Structure 1
């Protein structure tokens, strides 16, 4: 038997002038949208249009387990529960987790945006996926090209600061080669953040689904095919470090590792870590319990999500 939990909604005395209001869809420069203290930034009252955006009702059973009605699955869910979390409204704008972080001028990234011919990855995407989707992700992720055909993945944090970049080289079929460059070094004060972190929406924290994958290319393809989600990449099995994932605190995250025993095992280990720092994280285990030998026999071994999408299309 479930009973409703009474929650007192209090206005936050501090106005957030940077958010886009969920009711009017406008930047809150006049401060007329007031957040409910301790809840994701999507919830509050707008003095401009008079509309209140309130968090879903919360219920609990006799054991104290909290539930929320999931309108997508039409069932009670414990994974999407939105509970008051003071830290969610405390840090709308965060700085780099490395105090010595240096940043790359934004003007530099546009210098490589219109380079022709485009890199092999963009050309492959244009041949394979809808034109509109490719144009959108090129702009969203600011995908650049070098004169020697490299694909530039800019690592831009949630404050729109360019922390670093990675230059990868792809074959005409979209497969990555072993060649890559990292012009900006940790030793010089340039540290990584999650690829796509600038696309996180603080106002949708705790409601929208963020999908976290290994490679930058997988994130870009995912964003073309399923644009309703926010796609980020951690760039390698050991890329889920605390400084990089701090931006995910309070977000609902689905982690999708590549299809192998090692990648899946490491990801399960990182799920516990993510939950411990306040990330509502779950995993999609595409191995479905199969070992590497069985995956190889099925020709699924080491596939990433883009490979998987191509197989099932």
Structure 2
């Protein structure tokens, strides 16, 4: 009688990681398979997300399905503990002088808005680079390195922007993508936003263990007040318009796994204010609670509450700048208190 041994399927690319039946996350579920690499069932496996914790073993599956004939001649091998893969970092050579900055579409937009000198300064501080990955409107895409508090490059996020309005290119927007195979630009017809995490490609290792961090994390150590926003572009704009705060970004509501202890550790002993986009205050209040449970001094701003969809603090500051209409004394005092600079402001009434 043949005997089958079941084990967790070895990683062999994204095709071997599936959708978890409990939490619904794609690419996080590992099947139990037999010697021929055939899964027992789509429900029998383990979710890689610690927060989910779903794990249905072969023995548990067969107890729940006693009519499954495979159970009569099956022995189950306890899976070996997963190997700890060391964290990889990108080469520091990525931070060399950017000779294509004038072609960078986000730089073009910001230089028009704030002037070349201020834009160059903030691009230098955050080590923002230029990528040829996308080309549109006569310019190139923008590369945002995620540098940790020890100066290591954790990931490189590339995005395409419209140089005229500064908006990020979405899936419906036309852009050309560089093809290494063809050695030329080809139309990017894929139905997806123009966002690319380039780390594994740059390392030429698609199984590399890359752990993201805040964009701007390398600036935290020398700062006392930290403002956290979603968008990398917003951090750059806020750094110009409100430089008394050090601005960092999550890269999205759930980006860079920013509520995990390893990511928020550099925020210890800092005064942190979260600046959620309009309509996101409740979600970010939940995030704030997680940070507080780790001892972080954090408050949540409501400056965007009630504004148009997807507005953020950078939009608010730009609006005030464009209409050249300052806040009222009451608004200035309330906002100064919120960000912790009220003692530094003199009011002439």
TM bin (shorter chain):
0.5 to 0.7
TM-score, normalized by length of structure 2? Answer: 0.54
Structure 1 residues 99, 133: CA separation in 2 closer, same or farther (over 3 Å shift)?
farther
| 2:89 matched residue in structure 1 | 103
Offset of residue 132 of structure 1 = 2.8
Offset of residue 237 of structure 1 = 0.6
Structure 1 residues 187, 279: CA separation in 2 closer, same or farther (over 3 Å shift)?
farther
Q: Is the 8 A contact 2:129 2:143 kept in 1?
A: yes
Offset of residue 117 of structure 1 = 4.2
| 1:176 matched residue in structure 2 | 168
| 1:271 matched residue in structure 2 | 288
Offset of residue 118 of structure 1 = 2.4
Question: 274, 277, 288: which is aligned to 1:255?
Answer: 274
Q: Is the 8 A contact 1:252 1:280 kept in 2?
A: yes
Q: Deviation per CA, 1:55-91, whole angstroms, max 9, x where unpaired?
A: xxxxxxxxxxxxxxxxxxxxxxxxxxxxxxxxxxxxx
Offset of residue 220 of structure 1 = 0.7
Q: Is the 8 A contact 1:114 1:144 kept in 2?
A: no
Offset of residue 248 of structure 1 = 0.9
Of structures 1 and 2, the one scoring higher in RCO (CA 8 A, sep 6+) is 1
| 1:125 matched residue in structure 2 | 110
Spell out the pairing of 1:6-17 with structure 2 (5 A cutoff).
Answer: none
Once residues 200 and 187 of structure 1 are traced to their aligned partners in structure 2, the CA distance between those partners, rounded to angstroms, is 30
Spell out the pairing of 1:82-93 with structure 2 (5 A cutoff).
Answer: none
Once residues 245 and 307 of structure 1 are traced to their aligned partners in structure 2, the CA distance between those partners, rounded to angstroms, is 26
2:159 is the counterpart of 1:165: no
Offset of residue 131 of structure 1 = 3.1
Question: 306, 317, 331: which is aligned to 1:309?
Answer: 317
| 1:154 matched residue in structure 2 | 145
Offset of residue 246 of structure 1 = 1.9
Once residues 222 and 99 of structure 1 are traced to their aligned partners in structure 2, the CA distance between those partners, rounded to angstroms, is 37
Offset of residue 286 of structure 1 = 2.6
Once residues 310 and 165 of structure 1 are traced to their aligned partners in structure 2, the CA distance between those partners, rounded to angstroms, is 27
| 1:189 matched residue in structure 2 | 209
Query: What is the root-mean-square deviation in Å for CA atoms of aligned residues?
Result: 1.9
| 2:247 matched residue in structure 1 | 231
Q: Is the 8 A contact 2:304 2:316 kept in 1?
A: no
Spell out the pairing of 1:42-53 with structure 2 (5 A cutoff).
Answer: none
Structure 1, unpaired ranges of 5+:
1-97
Range with greater deviation from structure 2 (136-145 or 116-125): 116-125
Structure 2, unpaired ranges of 5+:
1-83, 171-193, 201-205, 322-349
Structure 1 residues 99, 232: CA separation in 2 closer, same or farther (over 3 Å shift)?
farther
| 1:140 matched residue in structure 2 | 125
Once residues 124 and 180 of structure 1 are traced to their aligned partners in structure 2, the CA distance between those partners, rounded to angstroms, is 18
Offset of residue 287 of structure 1 = 4.4
| 2:221 matched residue in structure 1 | 201
Structure with greater Cα Rg:
2
Question: 99, 103, 114: which is aligned to 1:114?
Answer: 99
Once residues 230 and 310 of structure 1 are traced to their aligned partners in structure 2, the CA distance between those partners, rounded to angstroms, is 18
Range with greater deviation from structure 2 (184-193 or 279-288): 184-193
SS in 1 for 2:234: helix
Q: Is the 8 A contact 1:167 1:182 kept in 2?
A: yes
Offset of residue 174 of structure 1 = 0.5
